[in-house]
Structure formats: C-alpha cells, structure tokens
Amino acid sequence: MKQAFSLNWKFTLFIVGLLLFTIGLLSFFVLKGVHEYQTKQREVVMQRQTDFAHLPIRELFVTESRLDSQAFMQLQGQKLAVEIGATSGLHVMLYNLKGELVGDSLPMAGKKSAIDEALQRALQNQIAYYLKGDMLNYFAPVQGMDAQIGVIHFQASSREHLDFFQNLFYLFLGVGAFVLTLSLVLGLLYMNRHAKAIIKLKMATDQIRQGKFLTSPILRRQDELGALSDGIFEMSAAIQTNIKTQRNFINNISHEFKTPLTSIKAYTDLLDMYEDDPNLIREGRAAIAKESERLYDLVDKVLKLAALDKYEFEQHPEQVELHSLLEDVCSRMKGKAGKFGITITTQLESAVVWADRESMLHMFINLLDNAIKYNTEHGTVTVTNRIVQQQVEIEFRDTGIGIPLEQQAHIFEPFYTVNKDRARQYGGSGLGLSLVQHLVEQQHGHIRVEGVEGQGTSFIVTLPIQGVEKFTSWKQVETLLK
Ligand code: ADP
C-alpha cells in the first residue's frame, strides 16, 4: 500500500518538478528579454531628449560667443534648465565643467546630493545613468561648438516601466503557481488511478501466493498494465495447471507403483505359506520377475521424464545418419518381435539430422516396442523414412489393434493407456509416449499419430535437417567430414 502511494507521489512530483523547471526557465528568459528591451528603449528616449536639449543650448551659445563655456554655463544655466525642463517635461539640471550645479528646472525639488559617480563620468564626456528608487538619473555631456561645455542631468520617473515589469513578474508567478497546483492535483488524481491498478495487481499476486488462483484477468485495459494483468492471469493459470499436473502425476505414480508391489508382496506371502507347492513356486517366480521388470521400467521412465526438464545440457547434438541408426534399432528389436511372431521390415533412405543420438535411440526403441506390443499375431511393423521439405519423416507403421480416433489426442499424456489390461499385460505404464514426445520436442521435431481402430497405427516423427541442409546422403557427409 505504502509503496504504491509513494510511486504515485514520485511520478507526480517528477512532473511538477519538470513543469517548475520549464515555467522557471521560460519566465527567466521572457523577463530578461523585457528588461533588456526596456533598457534599450530608455536609452533611445533619453538620447533623443539630450539631442533636443542641445538645440536651445547651442543656439544661445552661438549668440553668446564672447563668453567662454564656464561663464556661459554660469550665466545661462538656470534659464536653459528651466526652458529644457518645460519642453521635455522632465526635471532637468545643468552642471558646468567643474561639476557645479548651474541650473535646475525644479529648484524647489531639493538640493542634489553630493557629486556622484555618474556625473563624474559625464564630465569625462561619457553617458551614464542609474536608477534610484523608481527615478532614472541620466547624465549626458553637453557639447558646445567644438568641445564639451557641461553636463545635462535628466531625472525621469521609471514608474511605468517598473510597474510593467513587476506586473509581468507577478503574472508569471501567479500563472506558475496556478499551473503547478493544478498539475499536482490532476497528477495525483491521474496517478492514483494507476496506483490503484498496481495495488490490485499486487493483491492478485498475494492471492496466487496463497494458492487462490485467478478466474479472470484483474484489469481490462489496453496499456502495459493491462498486458501485465493478462500476464499475471496467464501465470496463475499456468501455475494452477502445473500443480494439478504434478498432483495427477504423483497420484498416478503412487498407483502404478502400488499395483506391482502389491502383487509381489502377495506372492511372497503365499510362497511363505505354501513353501513346497511347485506350481505356486513357478507361477510366483514368473509373476515376481514380470512385476519387478515392470517396476524397473516404471522407475526408469519416471526418472527420465523428471530429468528431461532439468538436464537439457545432457543433450549432445551431432550429425546422425538415420539409415544406419534405424537399422540398428530394428535389429535390436528383432528378437522381441520374433517372440510374438511379428516381422519388422524397413524402407530406408539416407538422411542426416542434427540431434542427440541417445535420445533418438530411446524414441525409436519405444515406438518400435509399442508397435510390437500392440500388434496382432503374425503382424508386421514397417519402418520408413523420407525427406519432405527440409525435414525428415520417420514412420513406424504397424498392423496392430489400432487406437480409437477419440483417444488419439490423449495417448501422449503421462499414464494414459487405451486398454489398461493390455498395457499391464505387456508391462506398459503409459509413460512411454509422453517421454517420446518430450524427447522429440527437445530435438526441435514433432510427433503425430495416424490410424484407425482395428487397422493398425502409424507414429510419424518429423525432425528438421538442421545446419546440414546441404547433405542429402550419408555418403556426401562422409566425404565432407574426411
Ligand atoms: P505403455 O507403456 O502403456 O505402452 P505408452 O505411453 O507407450 O505407454 O502408450 C500409451 C498407450 O497408447 C498405450 O497404453 C496403448 O494403449 C496406446 N498405444 C501406444 N502405441 C500403440 C500402438 N502402436 N498401437 C496401438 N496402441 C498403442
């Protein structure tokens, strides 16, 4: 709960932070631009005022040419200051070259403070200005005919500029605060929706952990959370099936183990009781031998099946020539086939596959064994192989009892047997085909069954000719390997 909440805040604060940064940066540059524009504007206006002020000064200076600049400023300063003040509408002060005040358009406005730095610079023929409160103090040199004769000092209110700038600043501040609050609220509301979905998913995983599996996806939405929800649902279903399969598997194993053990125990008890019954001894020995054989086979297959999932690294794929491998398998099984009066025939062509030899041996022996076990008297088994579109098909066709169509889909399930009695009679456990299917899939192939009940069965294994597409015959491979 706490985690989702903090995620919610984390995302929202990130967005708010990002907005703050954007608005801050934007405000900074806009305000900076406005400030620069205002300064430039002020300089242009004041420069124009200075130029205007020069007209009456020069006019008078020409007519009073008998006076030097110092005397001229002393004499006419006040008059000029008032005149320029009247035309410009600003507070105007004039200084002589010594920096002494010689004219003031508003003498009642109070004495100017001590000579300041800006004045000093203006006396050195430079323009200088500063803002004091909302007052602009602008100093410019006054030029006579060919040299500086004094300094003019304008005092103008900057209130309007300052107000404009300040309003703009507060506007940015206000809009910023509003946008941030709004985004915080909306962000929290929006993220809350996602956080709630995440909490639901978390609760679902808790349920699964307690063994309560889901019956439908938790969320129905088209985004990543929807995909996660579907994933969790599928995972739940997979775990459920897995557990069920394992439970079934264990139940079946227990049952399959108990039957031969019960039989062995029953015979040993009977043999204890009737120690010298020759018929019972013969029958008991045969039964115990058969049941132990069955147990051995069962243990072997169960262990192999269990190991298959875990020990994939035990696979050692290599180029395997099918013709000779199948011939080898058939000759190994000839003895067993003979016992049941069954003939094995082959129609083989050369083909090379990339697979684990041991697994292939296991697969083919199992299929051939079934074809013999579930055959009819004097029946035949035909083993063929052919290349079909970069794949090899290996077929085990028998003339046996066949498998009913509706049961064909189940025979690869562990412990599934079509006829329990017949399977038991031949020591079958229902694990063989399951193991074969696993092995075939490990070789990246697949297996299918065909046939009609009472008319024999065909098991067809398809394996890819991987990495050796070039080789179609064993002869070619041999030459290349040399
Ligand atoms: P089992 O050890 O019982 O033979 P398998 O997994 O090999 O177990 O086979 C499962 C079942 O499929 C068998 O019990 C049998 O009923 C049926 N079956 C397998 N192969 C054949 C076949 N060639 N002909 C008829 N039925 C078969």
Residue with the smallest CA separation from ligand 1 atom 7 is 432
Let me know if 218 is exposed, middle or buried by CB neighbors in 10 A (0-12, 13-18, 19+). Answer: buried
Distance 411 CA to ligand 1 centre (A): 7
For 123, 276, 292, 425, 459, the CA distances from 435, given in Å and listed in that order, are 107, 43, 21, 20, 14
Task: Report the atom number in ligand 1 closest to the C-alpha of 459.
Answer: 23
What is the pLDDT confidence band of residue 110, given thresholds at 50, 70 and 90?
Answer: low
Per-residue pLDDT tens digits for 317-337: 899 999 999 999 999 999 999
At 229 the pLDDT is 95
**Residue identifier of the C-alpha nearest atom 2 of ligand 1:** 428
Question: Can you list the positions of beta strands (E) in 337-388?
Answer: 343-347, 352-356, 380-388
Mutational test site, ligand 1, from 417, 425, 453, 457, max ligand atoms within 8 Å of CB: 417
d(CA 97, CA 93): 13
Which numbered atom of ligand 1 lies nearest the CA of 431? 6
Distance 433 CA to ligand 1 centre (A): 7
Distance (Å, rounded) from C-alpha 405 to C-alpha 239?
30
Residue 112's pLDDT band, with cuts at 50, 70 and 90, is low
Cα–ligand 1 centroid distance for 417 (angstroms): 6
pLDDT at 468 over 50: no
Q: Which residues contact 244 (CB under 8 A, 6 or more apart)?
A: none
Closest-CA residue, ligand 1 atom 14, reads 417
CA of 193 to the centre of ligand 1 (A): 55
* One-letter identity of residue 99: G
Output the residue whose Cα is nearest ligand 1's atom 20.
370
Q: Which residues line ligand 1 (CB under 6 A)?
A: 370-371, 374, 398, 400-403, 411, 416-419, 423, 428-434, 457
* pLDDT for res 469: 44
Average pLDDT over residues 423-434: 83
Classify the C-alpha dihedral 171-174-178-184 as positive or negative.
Answer: positive
**Vertex 327 angle, CA 324 and 328, to 5°:** 85
User: Quick one: which atom of ligand 1 is closest to the CA of 418?
Assistant: 16
- Cα 141 to Cα 24: distance, rounded to the nearest angstrom: 41
pLDDT at 474: 46
Ligand 1 mutation target, pool 301, 403, 422, 440, most atoms within 8 A of CB: 403
Q: Looking at the whole model, is its pTM more than 0.95?
A: no
Q: Which residue has the higher pLDDT, 275 or 44?
A: 44
CA distance 323 to 201: 55
Question: What is the C-alpha to C-alpha distance for residues 9 and 462, in angstroms, rounded to an integer?
Answer: 57
Report which ligand 1 atom has the smallest distance to the Cα of 400.
24
Give the Å distance between the CA of 316 and the centre of ligand 1.
28
Does 466 have pLDDT greater than 80? no
Cα of 70 from ligand 1 centre, angstroms: 130
Confidence label for 419 from pLDDT (cuts 50, 70 and 90): confident
Q: How many Å apart are CA 54 and CA 52, to the nearest integer?
A: 5
Sequence length of the chain is: 482
Q: Which of 297, 298, 418 to mutate to test the pocket of ligand 1 (most atoms within 8 A of CB)?
A: 418
More confident residue, 191 or 411: 411
Alpha-helical runs (H) found in 64-158: 69-88, 117-123
pLDDT in tens, 140-183: 999 988 899 999 999 998 888 889 989 999 999 999 899 889 98
Q: Whose CA is nearest to atom 21 of ligand 1?
A: 370
Apex CA 190: angle with CA 186 and CA 192, to 5°?
115
The CA 432 to ligand 1 mean position distance, Å, reads 8
Q: Which amino acid is at 480?
A: L
Question: Measured between alpha carbons, how far is 36 from 156 in angstroms, rounded to an integer?
Answer: 18
Q: Is 66 helix (H, G, I), strand (E, B) or coil?
A: coil
Mean pLDDT of 80-85: 95
Distance 364 CA to ligand 1 centre (A): 14
pLDDT at 372: 95
Query: Which residue owns the Cα nearest ligand 1 atom 11?
Result: 417
- 3-state secondary structure at position 152: strand
Which of 408, 431, 433, 447 has most ligand 1 atoms within 8 Å of its beta carbon, as the pocket-test mutant?
A: 433
Residue from 252, 362, 373, 382 to probe ligand 1 pocket by mutation (most atoms less than 8 Å from CB): 373
> What three-state secondary structure class fits 430?
coil
Q: Which amino acid is at 431?
A: L
41-64 pLDDT tens trace: 999 999 999 999 999 999 999 888
Decide the pairing of beta strands 135-143 and 148-157: antiparallel
Q: Which atom of ligand 1 is nearest to the CA of 297?
A: 2
Cα 170 to Cα 50: distance, rounded to the nearest angstrom: 34
Distance 349 CA to ligand 1 centre (A): 27
Unique residue bearing structure tokens 């998913």: 201
List strand residue ranges (DSSP E) for 315-432, in order.
317-321, 343-347, 352-356, 380-388, 391-398
Residue listed under structure tokens 């086939």: 337
d(CA 422, ligand 1 centre) in Å: 9
Tokens, residue 451: 């046939």
